[in-house]
Structure 1
Amino acid sequence: MSQGTTFTQYISALAAKDSSIPSSLLISVSNACKLIAKQVEQGALAGIIGSAGSGNVQGETQQKLDIISNDILLQACGKEASLAAMASEEMETIYPANAQGNLLLLFDPLDGSSNIDVNVSIGTIFSILKKNHAGPATEQDFLQSGKDQLAAGYVVYGPQTSLVYTTGQGVHMFTLDHETNEFLLIKENVQISPDTKEFAINMSNMRHWDQPVRRYVDECLAGVEGSRKKDFNMRWIASMVADVHRILCRGGVFMYPWDKRDPSKPGKLRLMYEANPMSFLIEQAGGASVNGKERILGLPSEKLHQRVSVVLGSKNEVELIQKYHLGT
């Protein structure tokens, strides 16, 4: 389709050819994110910057905008007839919608919220699954493998507000036109270069990493004098949405690995709300995504707030890191 096609037009045209595409719910999510974008833009002017003085189910401090964004998604999508229930990183259990619906929506309402106060890019991540039985949804219905996702995507609130999504038919990008309040198509079938000279990781945690990650980063830092024979740049925004968006635009590797500070936790990021949807996007764009040893989209989902290590991005680099973890 031509540049400038609205997201509603784009997704409706696809759904006319393929009834499995959850077009109405995707449009509801996009409309919710427009409302979140307005709240993000207002920030301190609306008195919504700073801590809410509460914690989420993971024990993390909630920002005011975390709660506002969560409520916007619940209200904007809860009326959708096809939606059976929702699950959020900010809520302990599921939120029922329409008992007759056959779709499930998972979301991180405001990823990277530690960046709110300093005006750095943040975003909303979402994933859509199919409910496989009649009647009201249960928490068990959400525990599906990432490869079973019907759709996934994110909206990044930055210099531009951009929506990126996939339904398993490539990755497509839209930018919000504030004059018309419509997401307009800017790029179809995004592809990630298999090779890169950029990696993103929180270097302050280096002393806690396992040996395979240390080996890879040490080789990158060695530059042209090292075994990789090329110089690397390091980027770290502390917002998964922003880091993944950069990778989709120009390649790179994003890593949030296991570390020894809490050996019982397999990772920091949430499988259902962050790792699965982002892995779906990355694979659809020709990249790869693993937890170190295994493909993330093949991992079993065992609980709603399950954590996981994440390495994703340019395929050749991810496969090299995976080989280091496998000892090959």
Structure 2
Amino acid sequence: MTTTLADWLAAQTVDPKLASVVATMAAASAEIAAVLRLAPIEGHTGLAGHTNVQGEAQKALDVISNDIVLNHIRENVEISILVSEELDEAVHLENQGDFMVATDPLDGSSNLDVNVTVGTIFSVLDARKGLLQQGKDQLAAGYAAYGPATSLVLTFGASVVVFTLDGAGQFVLTLDTVAVAEASGEYAINTARERFWDAATKGYVAENVAGETGSAGKRYNMRWVGSMVADIHRILMRGGIFMYPLDSETTGKGGRLRLLYEANPMAMIVEAAGGKSTTGREGILELVPTGIHQRVPVILGSAEEVARVEGWYAKG
């Protein structure tokens, strides 16, 4: 029997208002998926001609995706705050409910013009607790991966499930239990940045490159898409580790990826599936945010691999 997202949410022992927030982000993701399918035909490609608050050049589809999310959120009276990568400030919606959504509406948009998997990442929090909350306070997290199929990955904290968008525009449950493999022979890191790496990152990667002849004692493959959603989705499905560590070029910014709407939701998902997450020196979900666009180092995935990286950082 087919289980739709609506069926699954109705069966969960969570606040129906919280479930409605997840349903809203799913509906936004389905609309974004439809827009992406036709983007080259409709001419929605290339740069939008301006930059976001991070100083990054916005693609036309970054702006379109952000507008889609905002429009859906405005229609759900349970959501009163939106924090988005594409907006300088948080959007406060008057006379609405108790939930806040933090989102990267279109992760990996630099890959759009070459038809590589991109995604939407989101985190759901209690708006009454303010904008700057620790990752462990998240009520739900998820992402949509727009690839050969559109996958919607969700967690309320205890487990992780996967839905797939069908031809009628409904999300259908396709994997009711996701478990990140404890050990793996794959790692994802941008090796073009090696000259900026710290000693811990260099040591861990060198062990992997050494394969069977090194202290790790097994062969590794390196995978790097350049779209966080694509790399994390692969790790959820077959194990591995994703690394965007602090390095000499990103130290001044605190890291590369954003805490509230990239690191925290992905860490919640990976940990709910049995993996681990860290900055190298502390747990991502324990970090106390200092700003809505704060950047942090991100290392997450198979528990055994993350522990190895932590061991390298513990050396000094």
- Structure 2 gap segments, 5+ residues each: none
**2:3 maps to which residue?**
5
Aligned to 2:46, which of 44, 47, 50? 50
What is the identity percentage for the equivalent residue pairs of Structure 1 and Structure 2?
45
TM-score normalised by structure 1 residue count = 0.94
1:80-116 deviations in Å (ceiling 9; x for gaps): 1111110101101011224341000110000000000
User: SS of the residue aligned with 2:112?
Assistant: helix
Q: Does 1:118 align with 2:107?
A: no
Map of 1:168 onto structure 2: 157
1:86 counterpart (75, 79, 82): 82
What is the CA–CA distance in structure 2 between the aligned matches of 1:130 and 1:42, rounded to whole Å? 35
Offset of residue 21 of structure 1: 6.6
| 3-state SS of 2:232 partner | helix
User: In the alignment, what sits opposite 2:252?
Assistant: 264
CA distance in 1, matches of 2:140, 2:92: 20
Q: 1:19 and 1:276 mapped to 2: Cα distance?
A: 21
Q: Is the 8 A contact 1:83 1:98 kept in 2?
A: no
CA contact (8 A) 2:188 2:231 kept: yes
- In structure 1, how many angstroms separate the alpha carbons of the residues matched to 2:221 and 2:16? 41
TM-score by length of 2: 0.98
Distance 1:66 1:239, change over 3 A: same
Change (3 A) 1:240 1:132: same
- CA–CA distance in structure 2, aligned partners of residues 32 and 67 of structure 1: 14
Q: Which residue matches 2:230?
A: 242
Determine the C-alpha separation between the residues in 1 that align with 2:69 and 2:93. Answer: 12
Name the structure 2 match of 1:66.
62
**1:18 corresponds to which residue?**
14
**Structure 2: distance between partners of 1:163 and 1:98:** 29
User: Are 1:197 and 2:195 an aligned pair?
Assistant: no
Residue type of the alignment partner of 1:169:
A
Cα RMSD (Å) of the superposition?
Answer: 1.2
Q: Deviations over 1:128-156 (max 9, x none)?
A: 000226xxxxxxx1100000000000000
Q: Does 1:214 align with 2:202?
A: yes
Cα pair 2:17 2:78 within 8 Å, conserved: no
Give distance in 1, aligned partners of 2:10 and 2:230: 27
For residues 240-279 of structure 1, what are the alpha-carbon distances to aligned partners after superposition, in whole Å with 9 as ceiling and x for unaligned?
0000000000000000011112432221000001000000
d(CA) in 2 for partners of 1:61, 1:132: 33
